[in-house]
Amino acid sequence: MNLNIKKVDLLEQLRQLERNHKLIFYINGNYRFDHSKIKEVIYEEIPIELRQEYHRIVGSTIEKLHKENLEAIVGDLAFHFYKCQDNDKALFYLEYAANKARDNYLIEEAIIFYKLALELIEDDRKALEIKKKLKEIIKNRQRLNKVK
């Protein structure tokens, strides 16, 4: 992705933000926000259409970079395509991520992905299939909670 800015200029701007405003910090070769609230405030200030386009770009870039091993980043893909409202890709990756989470006993994560997928499904048979999976995983969670 080309931002039409020289790398050195971007690094200098990031360094100034770090030094003068303490909004970000440099660690292990990356810049991070100093506090999650800063990230949230900046994110909310971005117009929705622009935010969606950023998610589309990030999702597509991740998809291309990891096409040989999508399983490792399927949750990220689900998130970005859901946020950019690419419903076909979002639904594909949400179900993929939900099934992966379920198979790895990450129950809460699976529930979140299945619920998000249900928001996007227009086909009643597909919705019923997801609802059955969701019901089963919730039953399993309840059984596990009783054992504890």
Q: First and final CA of the chain: distance in angstroms?
A: 48
pLDDT of the residue at 31: 84
Does residue 59 belong to any structural domain of this protein? no
Residue 135 neighbours by CB under 8 Å, 6+ apart: none
Does residue 138 belong to any structural domain of this protein? yes
Instruction: Give Cα 125 to chain centroid, integer Å.
Output: 26
* Stretch 47-74: mean pLDDT: 95
Q: How does 107-142 read in b/e, with b if 16+ C-beta sit within 10 Å?
A: bebbbbbbebbeebbeeeeeeeebeebbeebeeeee
pLDDT(131) > 90: yes
Q: Domain with 76 in it: what CATH number?
A: 1.25.40
Its domain, for residue 120, covers 70-147
Does residue 50 belong to any structural domain of this protein? no
Does residue 134 belong to any structural domain of this protein? yes
Give the whole-angstrom CA distance, residue 105 versus residue 55: 28
Q: Kindly tell me the sign of the dihedral angle through the C-alpha atoms of 11, 16, 19, 25.
A: negative
Query: pLDDT for 7-46, tens place per residue?
Result: 898 888 888 888 888 888 888 888 888 888 888 998 999 9
Query: pLDDT for 45-57, tens place per residue?
Result: 999 999 999 999 9
Does residue 41 belong to any structural domain of this protein? no
**Domains: count for the chain:** 1
pLDDT(2) > 80: no
pLDDT of the residue at 148: 64
Give the whole-angstrom CA distance, residue 9 versus residue 111: 43
Does residue 105 belong to any structural domain of this protein? yes
Query: pLDDT for 77-113, tens place per residue?
Result: 999 999 999 999 999 999 999 999 999 989 999 999 9
E strands, the chain, are 24-27, 30-33
Q: Is the backbone of residue 115 left (phi > 0), alpha (psi -120 to 50) or beta?
A: alpha
* Stretch 113-141: mean pLDDT: 94
Does residue 20 belong to any structural domain of this protein? no
pLDDT of the residue at 95: 96
Does residue 77 belong to any structural domain of this protein? yes
